[in-house]
């Protein structure tokens, strides 16, 4: 924990707005609760603004800048007055941090606002390690784990060491690196449905890389990648399970892995 954070700790706990992401909100709330638990464990208060929906990336990457701008302004307003904005997704965090200012280019006031907003935005593992200096985590896990680097987090936000450092602090967890951890899984947002065959070739290669190191569990920091990889692994009948890294770090393992059958359900 750096000096400033220590001082803040004495005065009051930093208030962190959890940008939960539309996919986590809809598909896997347990990731949101895990993220909240970790942020609290890092000595912060978690706030979840109800007026958040989606960061606007699908519109932005489809060339619909007008819609993306509307959603960017809505998101920035929802998180006004909070010390930090943290997202359990490299992709959404990169949108908020790097692309909002670009999206507002040409409107000096909005651009300045987006820049100030961007300063406060962090991807979850980067926030825990780089901002809060977290070294111990609540969770534990017995087994072999491999980690897939999501493209935006890795290349746009340089998130690579942070999740690994936190995973190495999980008692019982053995991290095994697959070949091409940073190669795209083929999700790419709407790409997966616009070019399903190419996407399939990419996710098939990713699953083969993962299978080669024989993990029990595949982790990643983006639910988009995880839905894609988990969906492919389950279609292939693989025994490899998938979770968001926050679930393992926080010890939130009650929910079945992504795409896995519920307790007591038929396999």
Strands 173-175 and 217-220: unpaired
**Comparing C-alpha atoms, which of 169, 92, 99, 81 is closest to residue 124?**
92
Shortest Å distance, C-beta 250 to another protein:
14
Shortest Å distance, C-beta 48 to another protein:
5
Of the pair 140, 234, the CB lying nearest another protein is at 234
Taking contact as CB under 8 A, which single stretch among the options 3-11, 68-76, 130-138, 244-252 is the one that binds another protein? 68-76
As a whole number of angstroms, the distance between CA 95 and CA 60 comes to 9
Whether the Cβ atoms of residue 195 and residue 223 lie closer than 8 Å to each other: no
As a whole number of angstroms, the distance between CA 92 and CA 157 comes to 11
Residue carrying structure tokens 């001082």: 7
Whether the Cβ atoms of residue 188 and residue 199 lie closer than 8 Å to each other: yes
Per CB under 8 A, 63 contacts another protein: yes
Per CB under 8 A, 211 contacts another protein: no
**Contact set for another protein, span 155-174 (CB under 8 A):** 155-156
Q: For residue 217, what are its two tokens?
A: 């569990």
Per CB under 8 A, 140 contacts another protein: no
**Contact set for another protein, span 172-201 (CB under 8 A):** 182-184, 186-201
Which residue of 5, 213, 253, 260 would you call a contact of another protein, by CB under 8 A?
Answer: 260
How far is CA 113 from its chain centroid? 24
In the three-class reduction of DSSP (H, G, I as helix; E, B as strand; rest coil), residue 198 is classed as helix
Per CB under 8 A, 71 contacts another protein: yes
Which residue of 43, 58, 138, 251 would you call a contact of another protein, by CB under 8 A?
Answer: 58
Binding residues for another protein, total number by CB under 8 A: 76
Shortest Å distance, C-beta 222 to another protein:
12
Of the pair 171, 196, the CB lying nearest another protein is at 196
Burial class of 19 by CB neighbour count within 10 A (0 to 12, 13 to 18, 19+): buried
Taking phi over 0 as left and psi of -120 to 50 as alpha, with beta for the rest, 255 belongs to beta
Which residue of 16, 22, 134, 246 would you call a contact of another protein, by CB under 8 A?
Answer: 22
Per CB under 8 A, 25 contacts another protein: yes
Shortest Å distance, C-beta 49 to another protein:
9
Calculate the dihedral angle through the C-alpha atoms of 8, 136, 181, 214, rounding to the nearest 10 degrees.
Answer: -160
**Contact set for another protein, span 87-106 (CB under 8 A):** 102
Of the pair 5, 204, the CB lying nearest another protein is at 204
As a whole number of angstroms, the distance between CA 161 and CA 225 comes to 19
Which residue of 228, 240, 243, 250 would you call a contact of another protein, by CB under 8 A?
Answer: 228
Which residue of 19, 33, 100, 127 would you call a contact of another protein, by CB under 8 A?
Answer: 33
Per CB under 8 A, 238 contacts another protein: no
Residues β-bridged to residue 233: none
Per CB under 8 A, 227 contacts another protein: yes
As a whole number of angstroms, the distance between CA 195 and CA 244 comes to 25
């Amino acid at each position: 924990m750096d000096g400033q954070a220590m001082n803040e700790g004495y005065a009051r706990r930093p208030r962190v707005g959890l940008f939960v992401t539309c996919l986590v909100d809809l598909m896997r709330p347990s990731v949101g609760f895990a993220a909240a638990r970790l942020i609290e464990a890092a000595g912060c208060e978690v706030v979840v603004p109800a007026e958040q929906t989606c960061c606007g990336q699908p519109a932005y990457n489809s060339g619909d800048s007008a819609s993306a701008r509307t959603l960017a302004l809505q998101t920035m307003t929802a998180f006004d007055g909070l010390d930090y904005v943290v997202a359990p997704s490299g992709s959404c965090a990169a949108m908020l941090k790097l692309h909002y200012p670009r999206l507002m280019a040409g409107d000096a006031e909005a651009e300045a606002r987006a820049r100030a907003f961007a300063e406060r935005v962090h991807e979850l593992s980067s926030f825990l390690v780089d901002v809060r200096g977290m070294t111990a985590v609540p969770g534990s896990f017995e087994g072999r784990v491999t980690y897939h680097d999501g493209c935006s987090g890795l290349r746009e936000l340089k998130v690579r060491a942070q999740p690994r450092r936190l995973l190495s602090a999980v008692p019982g967890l053995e991290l095994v690196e697959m070949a091409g951890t940073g190669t795209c899984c083929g999700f790419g947002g709407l790409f997966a449905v616009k070019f399903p065959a190419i996407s399939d070739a990419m996710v098939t290669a990713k699953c083969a890389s993962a299978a080669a190191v024989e993990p029990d569990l595949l982790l990643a920091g983006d639910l988009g990648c995880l839905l894609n990889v988990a969906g492919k692994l389950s279609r292939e009948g693989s025994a490899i399970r998938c979770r968001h890294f926050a679930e393992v770090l926080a010890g939130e393992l009650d929910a079945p892995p992504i795409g896995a059958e519920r307790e007591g359900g038929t396999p």
